Amino acid sequence: MGRGRDEQHESAPESVEEGPSAGLAADALVGSRRPVLSATAAEWRGWMVERGQPAYRARQVLDWVIRRRAESFEPMSDLPRALRQRLDAEWTVFGTRVVYHDVAADGTDKLVLACRDGRRIECVLMTEGPRRTVCLSTQVGCGMGCVFCASGLKGVERNLRADEILEQVLHLRNLLPPEETVTHLVVMGMGESLANLDNLVAALDRLCSAEEGLGMSQRRVTISTVGLPAKIRRLADLDRQYHLAVSLHAPTEELRNRLVPVNEAIGLGAVLAAADAYFQRTGRQVTYEYVLLAGINDQPADAQALARLLATRRAHVNLIPYNPVAGLPFERPDPESIARFVAILRDRGVSVTVRKTKGRAIAAACGQLRRRLDPDRDPTTPPESGRAHDPHFGFQLALSTED
Ligand code: SF4
């Protein structure tokens, strides 16, 4: 793709790259009690001091929620009882509520959370060796419209707030035994992560803060995006060490326009140029995700074109054999086709892995379980059985995030 196209689209995707209006997100904060994580540590200190409490009480409250796994104020035994009662009157530990929890035979936990406005989001905890990997959602629904994806079927409803993103991690972490914690994060659930960049980075920075969060390494966090160039460059400018995964899914403009319709407004060249800039700025190798759809993008010519595209780049390809979605006309390639695709890339010197699928039996896929849970049904009723798809829901066990 020539430079002209890059320039042409550098500003064009702005409307694509902006998430739903801030008003929609703010509307979600309903109800009288604020979630604890909707306030920063500084805001908490101010709240305590205004009420005649020592500022260090703020740290105690946050420590109970973030590190000590409290899910109510009652167990916060080093706080005066009167303060706990006051906290309980004005705050709630979590603003989101677990309405569905399932565990797959391979140990993958899947939660559906209800937000305070009734909207539902999904998150997943995967266990592999010593890794405890959480896959997060960043939006309710998704506006990118990838034709093979369940999350985008009804479009995007709103961005998640930073505290709603954080709470996904804590709800899942609280399922782990006391001696274990979350080791890796992948932002590959429902939504286009970079369309909600500010809230996402606020949440991730807090999780990675030793002072205010879980002290996770930024290098163990992977942010997946369909490829919003201006947002990728903004993320690079923030000078973090988050790992970037670009959902490419096609090696040519024409095919990507068909599979990832938002590409028409962006252009493959602009996506790759922004990913190159991310690598140059951060020194972090970019991963390209590629969902393999039988007969659509899994042919030898596709693998050859993909290898040509990445030949001059220091990049890694993560192949994701498709898990079909009921009602969508795509199939998973057979093992021989997958092996052939891998061999063509390897022969041409491209670093490649095939994503392991976990949690299929519980529909651990972006938007899939949420879609099957009718909001009007009893939320404790399991969804009917069905096949899962996971173009995103992030089983990045083969990804090159650091140990
Ligand atoms: S694959 Fe990802 S970016 Fe595409 S519609 Fe689904 S959630 Fe959105």
Contacts for 295-300: CB closer than 8 Å, 24+ residues apart: 295/331, 295/333, 296/255, 296/259, 296/330, 297/249, 297/250, 297/251, 297/255, 297/259, 298/333, 298/337, 298/338, 298/341, 300/340, 300/341, 300/344
Residue 324 CA to ligand 1 center (angstroms) comes to 15
Residue 24 CA to ligand 1 center (angstroms) comes to 20
Mean pLDDT score, 22-50: 78
Residue 292 CA to ligand 1 center (angstroms) comes to 15
Nearest CA among 313, 305, 320 for reference residue 275? 313
> The CATH number of 34-92 is which of 3.40.50.11270, 1.10.150.530, 3.40.630.30, 1.20.1250.20?
1.10.150.530
Residue 191 alpha carbon, nearest atom of ligand 1? 7
**Stated pTM of the model:** 0.86
The residue whose CB lies within 8 Å of the most ligand 1 atoms, and thus the one to mutate among 123, 146, 262, 328, is: 146
Which residues have CB under 8 Å from 390's CB, separation 6+? 320, 323, 357, 359, 360, 364, 365, 366, 368
CATH 1.10.150.530 segments of the chain: 34-92
Give the residue, by CA position, lying nearest to ligand 1 atom 4: 146
Residue 106 vs residue 38, higher pLDDT: 38
Would you say residue 367 has pLDDT above 60? no
The residue whose CB lies within 8 Å of the most ligand 1 atoms, and thus the one to mutate among 17, 123, 149, is: 149
Of the pLDDT bands very low, low, confident and very high (cuts 50, 70, 90), residue 48 is very high
Residue 146 CA to ligand 1 center (angstroms) comes to 5
Of the pLDDT bands very low, low, confident and very high (cuts 50, 70, 90), residue 389 is very low
Of the pLDDT bands very low, low, confident and very high (cuts 50, 70, 90), residue 371 is low
Q: What angle do CA 82, 29, 218 make, to 5 degrees?
A: 90
Instruction: Give the Cα separation of 88 and 74 in Å (integer).
Output: 8
CATH 3.20.20.70 segments of the chain: 98-398
Q: Are strands 97-103 and 109-114 parallel, antiparallel or unpaired?
A: antiparallel
Residue 142 alpha carbon, nearest atom of ligand 1? 8
Tell me which CATH homologous superfamily contains domain 98-398.
Aldolase class I (3.20.20.70)
Residue 229 CA to ligand 1 center (angstroms) comes to 16
Q: How many CA atoms lie within 13 A of 382 on its CB side?
A: 11
Instruction: Please confirm, yes or no, whether 366 is among the known catalytic residues.
Output: yes
Would you say residue 203 has pLDDT above 80? yes
Tens of pLDDT, residues 102-157: 999 888 999 999 999 999 999 999 999 999 999 999 999 999 999 998 777 789 99
Residue 190 alpha carbon, nearest atom of ligand 1? 7
Would you say residue 381 has pLDDT above 70? no
What pLDDT score does 391 carry? 43
Residue 120 CA to ligand 1 center (angstroms) comes to 16
Lowest mean pLDDT across 28-37, 126-135, 172-181, 269-278: 28-37
Lookup: tokens for 356: 């392991």
Nearest CA among 90, 23, 80, 21 for reference residue 53? 80
β-pair partners for 122: 112
Of the pLDDT bands very low, low, confident and very high (cuts 50, 70, 90), residue 5 is very low
Which residues have CB under 8 Å from 42's CB, separation 6+? none
Mean pLDDT score, 175-182: 97
- Lining ligand 1 with CB less than 6 A are 142, 144-146, 149, 151-152, 190-192, 226, 366, 391-392
Residue 189 alpha carbon, nearest atom of ligand 1? 7
Residue 46 CA to ligand 1 center (angstroms) comes to 40
Mean pLDDT score, 267-290: 97
Instruction: Please confirm, yes or no, whether 149 is among the known catalytic residues.
Output: no
Would you say residue 382 has pLDDT above 50? no
What pLDDT score does 385 carry? 29
Catalytic residue chosen out of the listed positions 115, 123, 146, 366: 366
Nearest CA among 173, 195, 168 for reference residue 393? 168
The residue whose CB lies within 8 Å of the most ligand 1 atoms, and thus the one to mutate among 135, 136, 147, 151, is: 151
Catalytic residue chosen out of the listed positions 122, 164, 192, 289: 122
